[in-house]
Amino acid sequence: MGNRILFDFPDLIETNRLYIRHCKPGDGYKLHKAINSSIKNLSKWMALAQKEQTVEEIEEGIRKSYADFILRKDFRLHIYKKDDGEFAGSTGFHRIDWKTGSLEIGYWGVSSHSGNGYITEAVKELTRFAFEHLAVHRVEIRCDELNHASRRIPERLGYTLEGTLRRNSLSADGQELRNTCVYSVLADEWKYHHH
Backbone angles phi and psi of 127, in degrees to 5 = -65, -50
Highest average pLDDT, of 17-21, 31-35, 37-41, 144-148, comes from: 17-21
Residue 6 lies in a domain: no
Task: Give the per-residue pLDDT at 127.
Answer: 98
Residue 68 lies in a domain: yes
Give dist(CA 118, CA 79) in Å, integer: 9
Residue 189 lies in a domain: yes
Taking the model in full, what pTM does it have? 0.92
Residues 127 and 104 sit within 8 Å (Cβ to Cβ): no
Of residues 77 and 4, which shows the higher confidence score?
77
Of residues 3 and 63, which shows the higher confidence score?
63
What end-to-end distance do the CA atoms of the chain give, in Å? 25
Residue 2 lies in a domain: no
Q: What is the pLDDT of residues 51-83, one digit of tens each?
A: 778 889 999 999 999 999 999 999 999 999 999
Across the chain, mean pLDDT equals 90
Residue 79 lies in a domain: yes
Give dist(CA 48, CA 39) in Å, integer: 10
Q: What is the pLDDT of residues 134-172, one digit of tens each?
A: 999 999 999 999 999 999 999 999 999 999 999 999 887
The length of the chain is: 195
CATH assignment at residue 27: 3.40.630.30
The residues near 84 (Cβ < 8 Å, ≥ 6 apart) are none
Residues 167 and 155 sit within 8 Å (Cβ to Cβ): no
Question: 102: domain range?
Answer: 14-193
The C-alpha angle with vertex 16 and arms to 13 and 18, in degrees rounded to 5, equals: 55
Residue 1 lies in a domain: no
**Mean of the pLDDT values across residues 111-135?**
94
Residue 33 lies in a domain: yes
Ramachandran assignment for 27, one of left (phi > 0), alpha (psi -120 to 50 degrees), beta (any other): alpha
Give dist(CA 82, CA 190) in Å, integer: 26
Residue 3 lies in a domain: no
Looking at the structure of the chain, the number of domains it has is 1
